[in-house]
Structure formats: structure tokens, C-alpha cells
């Protein structure tokens, strides 16, 4: 059995095999060289250069302001660090919703200028023409349904999506459309666990959840959230594996004390 953690490079083909074998897929975000290197060395399957960079790297309230050039900057840094994980890059808001020609141009820039392995796009039926055009150029796409943060102004809130039948039916229909078009996987964000399981069973391609329960094929979290660097964001789906914000502040306070008390540098730390 080929296990993803011993392959030299994770591909969309490997991910498909993992779904077939019931091996779960682990995905995290990264936006810079140093973090991406650590994630890759630790054996993560997929690194997402998410447009959540808009929040955690740039301090914006939503994912809308980040530009294509900024995404390419982050993605290029990640690509220089990664040798094993599949690297997926978000197409940012406003670079693919207009028309499919513009969408293809944006996707090509990410693949060419950053050297990414695949792109991610939010939406179903509304963007299917762009999805098909990008796929026809040989660019792998990861879909994204459920809570799609680029549409936050339409939703008006970050509450759980698809809790009613109408929205759940549309989500299932969109998921099938994306699979038929040729997407290699779909991210489902903040939806009822039962719906996540249903989509996972109905579709052949891998389904990666973030707040979509444990019946999906894999999980994704925003790195800064799971490491406890972000402090105020605490949705139910988030498991914090560390409290880095306190550790970092503690180290910085110790450094400040050492500098002020002339305890740093000591004899061994100077020439
Ligand atoms: O931008 C991002 O980090 C994402 C994940 C939340 C899936 O889209």
C-alpha cells in the first residue's frame, strides 16, 4: 500500500488513492517560506496558500482585500520551501468572478509566476464556466463550498451554512457539478457533519472539511489558528494545538528584560 507519508511528492493522483484506501488527508495553510518548510518537513499532505493571508498576515477583517500579486508573493515563498506537499493557492476575490477568460488569466499567473501545483476557487454553479476553462488549460482545481468567506457580504454572517434543505440541496448539486467538471477535490467549510458525510459518500473525489465533521476524507485548518497565534477567533471546529501567542510574548518579554538589564549579550555572545 502506498502511504502518502512515504511518497516523495504528493499529487492529486495520490490524494485520490488516499480516499480509495480510507487514508485521511491532512492539510494546513502557510503563507511564508519558514512555516511552509516546517509543515513540509513534518509531513503535511497539502499546503494551502489561503486568502486567509488577508486576515492573518495583513490584518484585514475579511479575505476580500488581498490581491493577486500578494497571493503570488506568498505562494512563491511557500514554493521555495516545499518539496513533498501538494501546494494549492487560492484565487483571490475579484480575479475570477467576472468572466472565464479573466479567471484563466489569473490562474495562469499563479501557476507560472509562483510555480504552484493547483488553485482553489469558491463557489459552484455560478463559476462553473470559469472552472471548466481553467481545467481545460490543465490547471488542477480544488473547489470550495459551504461557508465561502469571499461571499461574506452576501451571507452577512459567519454562521453554519446549509442547515436548511434548500441550501443543503444546492450544495450537493454544486459538489456534483464540480466533480463532473473535473475538480480534484472540494473543501467544505462550516456545514452540518451529516451533510459533509453525505457529500463524501456521494462523490468519488476527496472532500476536505473545515467544520464539516469527521465523515469527510481530510481536514484543513488555518495554521495561525491551530497554533494559537490568533487569539480572538474560536469557532467550535477549531482545535488549538499550541498557545504560541503566549510563548512568543513570553520570549519577547524575556529578551526585553535581558536587554534592559544588560544581561544580553553575555561574555560568550560577543566577539
Ligand atoms: O483561505 C483559507 O485559509 C481557506 C481555508 C479556511 C479552507 O480557504
Residue 257: inside a domain, yes or no? Answer: yes
Residue indicated by cell numbers 436548511 = 164
Segment holding 258, helix H or strand E: helix 244-260
4: confidence class by pLDDT, cuts 50, 70, 90: low
Residue 3: inside a domain, yes or no? Answer: no
Instruction: Provide the CB-side half-sphere exposure for 6 (13 A, CA).
Output: 4
pLDDT at 227: 98
Residue to mutate (ligand 1; options 71, 222, 223, 224; most atoms within 8 A of CB)? 222
Q: What percent of the chain has a predicted confidence (pLDDT) above 90?
A: 96
196 shares its domain with 249? no
Ligand 1 contact via 56 beta carbon (within 6 Å): no
254 shares its domain with 189? no
Could you tell me the distance, in angstroms and rounded to a whole number, from the CA of residue 105 to the centre of ligand 1? 22
229 shares its domain with 269? no
Residue 218: inside a domain, yes or no? Answer: yes
254 shares its domain with 175? no
5: confidence class by pLDDT, cuts 50, 70, 90: low
Q: What is the pLDDT of residues 32-78, one digit of tens each?
A: 999 999 999 999 999 999 999 999 999 999 999 999 999 999 999 99
Ligand 1 contact via 187 beta carbon (within 6 Å): yes
What is the DSSP secondary structure assignment for residue 47, as one 8-state letter?
A: E
7: confidence class by pLDDT, cuts 50, 70, 90: confident
pLDDT at 3: 58
Reply yes or no on whether the pLDDT at 226 is more than 90: yes
Average pLDDT rounded to a whole number, residues 117-124: 98
194 shares its domain with 65? yes
The model's pTM is 0.96
Reply yes or no on whether the pLDDT at 190 is more than 60: yes
Residue indicated by cell numbers 516523495 = 8
**What's the rounded Cα separation, in Å, for the pair 31 and 76?**
9
- Residue 74 sits in which domain range? 12-240
**What's the rounded Cα separation, in Å, for the pair 77 and 219?**
23
Residue indicated by cell numbers 481530510 = 218
**What's the rounded Cα separation, in Å, for the pair 108 and 118?**
10
Please choose, from the candidates 266, 86, 55, the residue with its C-alpha nearest in 3D space to the C-alpha of residue 152: 55
**Strand, helix or coil at 53?**
helix
Residue 1: inside a domain, yes or no? Answer: no
140 shares its domain with 262? no
Q: Report the CATH number at residue 115.
A: 3.20.20.60
193 shares its domain with 248? no
Average pLDDT rounded to a whole number, residues 256-270: 98
Ligand 1 contact via 78 beta carbon (within 6 Å): no
Is residue 143 classed exposed, middle or buried when 0-12, 13-18 and 19+ CB atoms within 10 A define those classes? buried
**What's the rounded Cα separation, in Å, for the pair 203 and 196?**
11
Q: Alpha helix (H) ranges present in 44-202? A: 53-56, 68-81, 100-109, 128-136, 152-155, 165-181, 193-202
Query: How many folded domains does the chain comprise?
Result: 2
Reply yes or no on whether the pLDDT at 6 is more than 80: no
**Residue 46 CA from chain centroid, whole number:** 8
Amino acid at each position: 500500500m502506498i502511504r502518502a507519508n512515504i511518497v516523495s511528492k504528493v499529487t492529486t493522483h495520490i490524494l485520490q488513492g488516499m480516499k480509495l484506501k480510507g487514508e485521511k488527508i491532512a492539510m494546513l495553510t502557510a503563507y511564508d517560506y519558514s512555516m511552509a518548510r516546517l509543515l513540509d518537513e513534518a509531513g503535511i499532505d497539502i499546503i494551502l496558500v489561503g486568502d486567509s493571508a488577508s486576515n492573518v498576515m495583513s490584518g484585514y477583517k475579511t479575505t476580500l482585500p488581498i490581491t493577486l500579486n500578494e497571493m503570488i508573493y506568498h505562494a512563491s515563498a511557500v514554493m521555495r520551501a516545499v518539496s513533498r506537499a501538494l501546494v494549492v493557492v487560492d484565487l483571490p476575490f475579484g480575479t475570477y468572478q467576472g468572466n472565464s477568460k479573466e479567471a484563466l488569466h489569473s490562474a495562469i499567473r499563479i501557476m507560472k509566476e509562483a510555480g504552484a501545483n493547483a488553485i482553489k476557487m469558491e463557489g459552484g454553479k455560478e463559476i462553473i464556466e470559469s472552472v471548466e476553462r481553467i481545467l481545460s488549460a490543465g490547471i488542477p482545481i480544488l473547489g470550495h463550498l459551504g461557508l465561502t468567506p469571499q461571499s461574506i457580504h452576501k451571507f452577512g454572517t459567519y454562521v453554519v451554512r446549509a442547515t436548511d434543505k434548500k441550501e443543503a440541496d444546492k450544495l450537493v448539486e454544486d459538489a456534483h457539478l464540480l466533480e463532473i467538471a473535473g475538480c480534484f477535490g472540494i473543501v467544505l467549510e462550516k456545514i452540518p457533519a451529516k451533510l459533509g458525510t453525505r457529500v463524501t459518500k456521494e462523490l468519488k473525489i476527496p472532500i476536505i472539511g473545515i467544520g464539516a465533521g469527521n465523515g469527510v476524507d481530510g481536514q484543513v485548518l488555518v495554521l495561525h489558528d491551530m497554533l494559537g497565534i490568533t487569539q480572538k477567533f474560536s469557532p467550535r471546529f477549531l482545535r488549538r494545538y499550541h498557545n504560541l501567542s503566549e510563548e512568543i510574548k513570553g520570549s519577547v518579554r524575556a529578551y526585553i528584560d535581558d536587554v534592559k538589564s544588560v544581561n544580553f549579550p553575555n561574555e560568550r555572545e560577543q566577539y
